[in-house]
């Protein structure tokens, strides 16, 4: 795909799609530019604060962990399409979430580790950064922290998978998960262009339509609870046969 770049309606130039050199570059880009994740399609006035990159869990490091003003927790995982492990990215990020949830009883340790990372990055304490970023008063901060703790304890996470190209099997899996779980998985496809000294990023968010349909059709009902066996069983019924093999 190409885009056209011009100045004052003249000197139009066609710019072909470029590519990310490495997942590390993509991680750093998102860390420095969290607004590149189009969460505004979920919440109109959302601001995402990335608190830590490579946040360690018992199952490995999460590429990035963030929070919004409502205390919702976002676990971000990046993967390039050329990476052969791309089919495992959802299982990988869910595993990180499960590990984080298992450690939720020690909320103070969780906050302490976040605080250490925030101090290194921003030279501010976690509480100071939250107050600054979200324009909170000292009286409002405890409410945010309480909602954050509640979401951690219940495992109510927002999982965000960032890729330079999404494959059909991943989209099918996200639909299935969002229909059968209390948490939410989003995928973002990132088109990347370079023109002179400028970088152009076109993000496309997938997964929001599924959540909107669920909220309408499932009002007043309780979503399914499942374990690994029931997950596979229902997946075999819902997804195309090739999906499970490819994943």
What percent of the chain has a predicted confidence (pLDDT) above 70? 84
Q: Is the pLDDT of residue 85 over 60?
A: yes
Separation CA 114–CA 117 (nearest Å):
5
Whether 139 shows a pLDDT value over 90: the answer reads yes
Q: What was the pLDDT predicted at 236? A: 52
Residue 40 phi, psi dihedral angles, 5° rounding: -65, -15
Residue 149 has pLDDT above 70, yes or no: yes
Q: What is the pLDDT of residue 226?
A: 45
Average pLDDT over residues 91-114: 89
CA gap 144, 136 in Å, rounded: 9
Which has more pLDDT, 46 or 181?
46
Helices (H), 106-240: 107-122, 126-134, 141-154, 168-179, 208-217, 228-238
Identify the helix (H) or strand (E) that includes residue 30.
Answer: helix 23-32
Q: What is the pLDDT of residue 147?
A: 96
Range picked from 65-74, 176-185, 199-208 for highest mean pLDDT: 65-74
Q: What pLDDT is stored for residue 123 in this prediction?
A: 96
Q: What is the DSSP letter of 67?
A: E
Can you tell me the distance from the alpha carbon of 37 to that of 188, in angstroms, rounded to the nearest whole number?
A: 7
Tens-place pLDDT, residues 116-127: 999 999 999 999
Residue 174 and residue 192 in contact, taking contact as beta carbons nearer than 8 Å: no
Burial class (CB in 10 A: 0-12, 13-18, 19+), 219: exposed
Higher-pLDDT residue of 237 and 90 is: 90
Mean pLDDT value across the chain: 82
pLDDT tens figures, 28-79: 888 888 888 888 888 888 899 999 999 998 889 999 999 999 999 999 999 8
What is the pLDDT confidence band of residue 217, given thresholds at 50, 70 and 90? very low
* Phi and psi, residue 215, nearest 5°: -65, -30
Is the separation of the CB atoms in 58 and 103 below 8 Å? yes
Provide the β-strand partners of residue 158: 74, 184
Please check whether residue 144 is in contact with residue 58, taking contact to mean a CB–CB distance below 8 angstroms.
Answer: no
Look at residue 22 and tell me whether its pLDDT is greater than 90. no
pLDDT at 159 over 90: yes
Question: Looking at residues 158-187, what average pLDDT do you find?
Answer: 86
> Rounded mean pLDDT of 190-205?
89
What proportion of the chain, given as a percentage, has pLDDT over 90?
36
What average pLDDT score do residues 199-210 get?
84
Q: Are 159 and 77 in contact (CB under 8 A)?
A: yes
pLDDT band at 210 (very low <50, low <70, confident <90, very high): low
Query: Which value, to the nearest 10 degrees, does the dihedral of the CA atoms of residues 40, 42, 48, 52 take?
Result: -130
pLDDT confidence of residue 228: 45
């Amino acid at each position: 795909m190409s885009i056209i770049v011009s100045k004052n309606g003249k000197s139009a130039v066609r710019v072909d799609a470029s590519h990310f050199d490495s997942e590390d570059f993509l991680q750093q880009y998102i860390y420095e530019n969290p607004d590149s994740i189009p969460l505004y399609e979920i919440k109109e006035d959302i601001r995402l604060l990335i608190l830590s990159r490579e946040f360690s869990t018992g199952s490995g490091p999460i590429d990035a962990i963030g929070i919004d003003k409502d205390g919702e927790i976002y676990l971000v995982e990046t993967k390039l399409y050329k990476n052969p492990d791309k089919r495992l990215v959802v299982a990988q990020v869910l595993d990180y979430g499960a590990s984080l949830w298992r450690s939720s009883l020690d909320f103070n340790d969780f906050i302490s580790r976040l605080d250490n990372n925030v101090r290194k990055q921003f030279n501010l304490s976690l509480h100071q950064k939250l107050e600054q970023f979200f324009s909170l008063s000292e009286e409002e901060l405890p409410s945010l922290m309480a909602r954050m703790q509640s979401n951690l304890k219940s495992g109510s996470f927002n999982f965000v998978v960032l890729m330079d190209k999404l494959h059909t099997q991943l989209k099918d899996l996200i639909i299935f998960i969002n229909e059968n779980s209390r948490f939410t998985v989003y995928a973002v496809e990132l088109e990347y262009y370079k023109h002179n000294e400028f970088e152009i990023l076109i993000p496309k968010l997938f997964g929001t339509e599924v959540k909107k349909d669920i909220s309408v059709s499932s009002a007043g009902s309780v979503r399914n609870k499942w374990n690994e066996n029931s997950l596979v069983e229902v997946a075999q019924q819902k997804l195309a046969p090739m999906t499970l093999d490819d994943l």
